[in-house]
Amino acid sequence: MSLLCRVTVLVDNHVSGTRKELEAEHGLSLYIETPNSTFLFDCGHTGLAWENAKKMGVDLSAVKQVVLSHSHYDHAGGFPSLLKYCQPEALYTGKNFWQEKYSYDKGNDEYLYKGCGFTMKDVDSWGIEQKVCQSVLPLDDYVSIVTGFEKYYDFETIPEKFVRGKDKVPDPFDDEICVLLPEGAGLTMVMGCSHVGILNMVATVKKRLNLPVYSVMGGIHLSTATEERMDRTIQELTRLGVKNINLCHCSGQNNMATGSVIEIR
């Protein structure tokens, strides 16, 4: 079976054991190649991803599209520094991306800013078109992005500490989007953090696209979850038909890391 897509991890919380020359940070950035295009999914926090890309021989100048899973700093903060290496034509986001994000620090009774650090006006001044995904939006003939995830699993809840906007209201993460790559007769789903729940996301994609999800890849925000919660999630993913699970960043169980390359056929 011929290769359809290739995913290279430019930055993650950890470094692959075989790539000692690379560096890690709390963040995520993936370089995705399809038969039609090359694009980035998330940009990490500081721009370290672009230094790693150079060490790996990844040509960032080919990047014309950038997809940001949501506007937290560890996924979107590295975007402005990317402009030193390429000139993206389009930035893909979900709705309400520009509502500022915070996390409540109970110990110090304060709200900590967790947003991307740049604005819509900045993007306009850089000459980049923002494209907002409302449901399903194709990037090319092979790849789509999806948002607007429905709630199927009541136990997948968003921690109360995550709030947004000047009124610090609970953040529903309706800006969250994921990437869909072709895999055989089905799909690979690539996620940034899965704040809305990985099971909710997979169930929504299966229903909306009427296609099986064979693989999930990325962060599922269960690094502080109990073993019971993690086991239940893995069991339910299997029941939903997911055969391959490649986790990183905020997942609690990681088998992807900076320097990893995953091929999808």
> Which pLDDT tens digit goes with each residue over 70-126?
999 999 999 999 999 999 999 999 999 999 999 999 999 999 999 999 999 999 999
User: How confident is the model at residue 153, as a pLDDT?
Assistant: 97
In which band, very low, low, confident or very high, does the pLDDT at 220 lie, cut at 50, 70 and 90? very high
Distance CA 56, CA 22 (A): 8
Q: Supply the angle between the helices 198-209 and 227-239 in degrees, to the nearest 10.
A: 10
Which range has the worst mean pLDDT, 119-128, 188-197, 204-213, 217-226?
A: 217-226
Region of residue 184 (phi > 0: left; psi between -120 and 50: alpha; otherwise: beta): left
User: How confident is the model at residue 253, as a pLDDT?
Assistant: 67
User: How confident is the model at residue 20, as a pLDDT?
Assistant: 87
CATH number of the domain at 225, please: 3.60.15.10
The model's pLDDT over 10-63, given as tens digits with 9 standing for 90+, comes to: 999 999 888 889 999 999 999 999 999 999 999 999 999 999 999 999 999 999
Residue range 156-164: average pLDDT?
96
pLDDT of 141 higher than 80: yes
pTM for this predicted structure: 0.96
Q: Which domain holds residue 108?
A: 5-264
User: How confident is the model at residue 1, as a pLDDT?
Assistant: 47
Into how many domains does the chain fold?
1
